[in-house]
Amino acid sequence: MTQKKTLIIRIILFGGTAISLFFVPWILVKAWILPLPDTIQEQVEEALGHGFDGMIVYVDQAGKSPKHYTGGWKDRENKIPADPNSLFKIASISKLYTAVAATKLVKEQRLSFDKSLADYLPELIGRIENAEEITLRMMIQHRSGIPNFTDNPAYWENEQENGNNALDFALDLPASFKPNEGYEYSNTNYLLLRRIMDDVLGYSHNQYIKEEILIPLELKNTFFSINEVDLDDVMSGYYVGYEEDFKARDYGMLATAKDVGIFLRALNDGSVFDEGEKEIYPYEYNHGGLVVGYQSLAEYHKDIDAVVVQFINTTDFNGYEWNLSEITINRIVKIIRKNNGIQ
C-alpha cells in the first residue's frame, strides 16, 4: 500500500471517529470516567453537578447502621436543603408492593397467577387482544403484550385528567406480541392487576397492602396518595426547563427512603412473606420509578448485602437524567464495594 493511500485511509478513519464522537452524549461519558470518589457524600455532590436539584441516598449494609446522604434542595424556590426524612413519589417502585400483595392473595387462594385476564375481567374480551390467553403471571412479569397506556401520545395531552381513565388509552389496540412470547414493560398490566385485586377483595388493594405489608414492617412513612400527607413533608419535584414545582400532583405512592429500604430488604431476605409465599413470588427484587419531577432507584446487592435507595427530584424524559441516575447509583455501589475491599 502506498504512503498516499495509507494517509487517505487514516484521514477517513479520523474523520469518521470525529463525527461519531460529535454525537456521543458527553455528559454521560463524563459521569462514567470521572475518578471514583472515596465517599458516598462526595458522589452525591458530584451528581448534583450534572444538573440535579436535590438527592437523597439511603444505604443499609448488613452489620452497619443505616445511613442517609443528601445534597441540593428539598425546595429549590425557598432554598430548603434536602431532608433525608422527606416523602418522595416512588412511582413504579410501587409495583413491588403490588406483586407481593398479589402473591399473598394467591397463597390465600383468592387469586390464581394461572387464570386469565378474561376470567377476572370478562368485559375486556374484545377490548384487549388475547384477553382469554393472558394470565396474571404474564401481566406481573410484563409478558402479556398489553399496550402501555403511557406510550399512547393522547394520554399526555392532559395527563392529570386522563389518569382517571387511563385504561381507555390501552383499549382496542393491537397487542405488542402474543402472550408470553416477548417482554415489554407496560403500566397497563399493573393498572389491571390492581383493579382485579380490588374486585377480589371487595375493598381497596391499598388497604390490603397496608394491613399485610406496611403495618407488619412498621412502615409508618409510606402512603398511597398525596392527599394523605402534609405537602410540606414532600420533596419538591422539578422538570428540566420548567420553574413549576410538581409536588402537588398525585402520582400514587409516597415514602421516605428509609421506608423503601426497609421494605426492599424484607423483600430480598424473605421476611415480608408468610410461609409458602416466597416460593411463588413471580416478580423482581429491585425496581426503579419515574414520574414528572421524581426518579427513584431501589436496589439490593447480595455480594455486599446492602440495600441502596436513591431519590432524585429532577427529570427530563427527553434528556439523560435517567441515565445519569443509573450511573450515579452504580458508582455509589462501587464505592461501597471498594470500602469493603471488593473490586
What are 217's three cell numbers? 414492617
- List the chain residues with pLDDT less than 70: 1-24
What kind and span of H or E run contains 77?
Answer: none
Which residue in the block uniquely carries the three cell numbers 475491599? 341
- What is the enclosing helix (H) or strand (E) of 71? strand 67-75
Q: Strand 254-255 and strand 88-89: pairing?
A: antiparallel
How many angstroms separate the CA atoms of 110 and 212, rounded? 15
Give the per-residue pLDDT at 24.
58
How much is the pTM? Answer: 0.92
Dump pLDDT digits (tens) for 36-61.
999 999 999 999 999 999 999 999 99
- Cβ neighbours around 59 below 10 Å, total: 23
Using an 8 Å Cβ cutoff, are 252 and 91 in contact? yes
Question: What domains sit in the chain, N to C, each tagged with a CATH number?
Answer: 31-339 (3.40.710.10)
Q: For the residues of 266-326, what is the DSSP string, one character each?
A: HHHHSTTS-TTTGGG--S-S-EEEEETTEEEEEEEEGGGTEEEEEEE-EE-TTSSHHHHHH
pLDDT at 215: 98
Lookup result for grid cell 485511509: 9
